Amino acid sequence: MSIEDRVSPTAAPPEPTDLDALRTLIEGTRVPRRPGPVSTSLTFGWRAMLKIKHVPEQLFDVTVFPAIMTLMFTHLFGGALAGSTEEYLQFLLPGMIVMSVMMTTMYTGTALNIDVHKGIFDRFRTLPIWRPSALVGALLGDLARYTMASVVMVGLGLAMGYRPDGGALGVLGALGLLLVFSFSFSWIWTMFGLLMRSEKSVQSVSFAVVFPLVFTSNVFVDPDTMPGWLRACVEVSPITHMVDAERALMDGTSAAGPVGWVLLWSAALTLVFGVATMRLYNGRR
């Protein structure tokens, strides 16, 4: 017997029909198209929504906290500042809606900082997707939180006796404008989320920025009662312009000027802090 006869092959070669079938399968498989900016941003927005589903306790700051603040300020200061809680509520509620949403925006930077230090965003940056979509999607997901805070505040105000003269359209317009402004304002916190070393640092800096902006505005009192130097600062604040637009739309009065200022501030905040955020995001190693 020859050597060739004694050595048995380890595996039989595939039949020609098998090779043809495999070749047909490979050649017929379509390469999936690269996802567009809208689809990837919406996907990351859904990821942010799933965080709320798994950790519902984080909704405390958009439900319970705004309700407590509104009840407290209305009944503690309403009689002293406006003569009655009913009159003060008509003045206070639009400002409290703005304040509640602005406080809620701080969570954006904290959540981003946690993801960054866990290394999740390093993985996102390696994917063949539109680079800003991870950040834009996170902000889109947070819009649901802002909407929830606004709805809770409007519902509470109606239950307490607030009556918007602008009707349902005025309320919807005011809330829509607030969502645009809060989306732009959130870019500030994404920048801090990338700059700070821990989520506690982000929270500390955020409170240091938001509290002066909110309390040195026209949320609680008319600026005409303030000293001249403080009134000058209050009148140029973006929070003041947002509250003016909110009150004008909900009260059914002329809102062109305040709305214009809000849109201008929104564009400026997005341009400045959005660009700064993307530079930090792309420059991370």
Mark out the alpha helices in 119-222 (DSSP H runs): 120-125, 133-160, 167-195, 199-215
Q: What is the pLDDT of residue 182?
A: 93
Domain that holds residue 257: 36-283
- Provide the CA 187 distance to its chain's centre, in angstroms: 8
Q: Does residue 25 sit within a domain?
A: no
Q: Is residue 157 part of a domain?
A: yes
What are the residues whose beta carbons fall under 8 Å from the beta carbon of 122, sequence distance 6 or more?
284
> According to the model, what pLDDT value does residue 7 have?
47
Q: Is residue 22 domain-resident?
A: no
In a domain, 8, yes or no: no
Counting residues of the chain whose pLDDT is more than 90, the rounded percentage is 19
Residue 31 reports pLDDT greater than 70: no
Q: Is residue 3 part of a domain?
A: no
Q: 27 falls in which pLDDT band (50, 70, 90)? A: low
Whether 6 is in a domain gets the answer: no
Q: Establish if 21 belongs to a structural domain.
A: no
Number of domains in the chain: 1
The model's pLDDT over 161-211, given as tens digits with 9 standing for 90+, comes to 899 988 899 999 999 999 999 999 999 998 988 888 888 888 888 888 888
Tokens representing residue 40 in the block: 């990837």
Is there a contact between 99 and 69 (Cβ–Cβ < 8 Å)? yes
Q: Is the pLDDT of residue 12 over 60?
A: no
Residues near 175 by beta carbon (within 8 Å), at least 6 away in sequence: 97, 147, 150, 151, 154
Mean pLDDT of the chain: 83
**pLDDT at res. 255:** 82
The residue with greater pLDDT, 254 or 98, is 98
Answer yes or no: is 19 within a domain. no
